[in-house]
Amino acid sequence: MGKEPKSRRHACPQCDYKTGNVSHLKTHVRTVHEQRRDHACSQCDAAFGQASNLRKHVRTVHEKRKDHACPQCDAAFREAGHLRRHVRTVHEKRKDHACLQCEAAFGTAQHLRTHVRTVHEKRKDHACPQCDAAFREARHLRRHVRTVHEKRKDHACLQCEAAFGEAGNLRTHVRTVHEQRRDHACPQCDAAFGEASSLRMHVRTVHEQRRDHACPQCDAAFGEAGTLRTHVRMVHEKRRDHACPQCDAAFGRAGDLSRHVCRVHEQRKDHAYPQCDAASGTAGSLSRHVRTVHEQRRDHACHALLKLVQPGT
């Protein structure tokens, strides 16, 4: 057998790790096998096995420095590795990590591992310590705790008083409410939506007529899991969790409470028809006005009257 290359001649006695540098081997044994964390942060409880990791922690966490700027866009990162990943995945569009079980491919090995664990293995390893919820990714659990249990809404709209628990929801709000954008058009009808998820739901429930979420307590079935949960809460559990702060009214849905406040207490009529002076507090009332007054539609026939005028039927 040939000699071990000098670059790999120092072997760890406890695992397969090999290196050409004695100090690297000592650091490996101290931090991996002895689990020593000799370098403590003076600003928080964090501790590290290497001084370099402590310096990086202070620079990125406490000083909030982003010293690694992308030469192709305005992005900046705290670590050089994050910049390289950004360039590789965003600008070069590389997806070097392919899934062996489907055709998906990803820019990072971590994203591939997450895909396999959550999509193919269906694992939900991140359980909420405060309720029965479980999630496939740690970030989803953190978001759940922050928005559901801590009730935090850190992302405020600059154009109105709305606030959201997630930046993505704020962007959606601005795009759909203030900019009135409907970028996701249905290929089967004239409907258009502000979110791709709303379009998918529309296709599934309206065109495909799917009702995949069945109520375990009655024969009702729904196109969305959220609608099923609302049904169980309102119909079977008789819950009215959304109370009006100005009167004794209470509602099963937050949207119903918002409409009640706008229509009854604020007397708002935000839905106007451009062809006449009509204005309504709800979109449904305006639609009914257009349908019955301007389109002269009479869609609901009296069956008793039909039997009088058509006695043979």
Q: Is the pLDDT confidence value at 280 over 90?
A: no
Q: Are 198 and 184 in contact (CB under 8 A)?
A: yes
Tell me how far apart the alpha carbons of residues 135 and 118 are, in angstroms, rounded to a whole number: 9
Q: Are 294 and 287 in contact (CB under 8 A)?
A: no
pLDDT score of 281? 65
Q: Model confidence over 160-199: pLDDT tens digits?
A: 888 998 888 899 889 888 988 889 999 999 989 888 888 9
Residue 93, classified by CB atoms within 10 Å of its CB into exposed (0-12), middle (13-18) or buried (19+), is exposed
The tokens for 198 are 């709303």
Task: Name every residue whose Cβ is closer than 8 Å to that of residue 208 and which is 6 or more positions away in sequence.
Answer: none
Mean pLDDT, to the nearest integer, of 301-311? 63
Q: Model confidence over 64-95: pLDDT tens digits?
A: 888 889 999 988 888 888 899 999 988 999 99
SS3 225: helix
The tokens for 97 are 């990590």
Residue spans of the domains in the chain: they are: 270-313
pLDDT score of 282? 66
**What's the N-to-C CA distance of the chain in angstroms?**
99
Task: Name every residue whose Cβ is closer than 8 Å to that of residue 216 and which is 6 or more positions away in sequence.
Answer: none
Mean pLDDT (the chain) is 85
Q: Is the pLDDT confidence value at 30 over 90?
A: no
pLDDT score of 41? 92
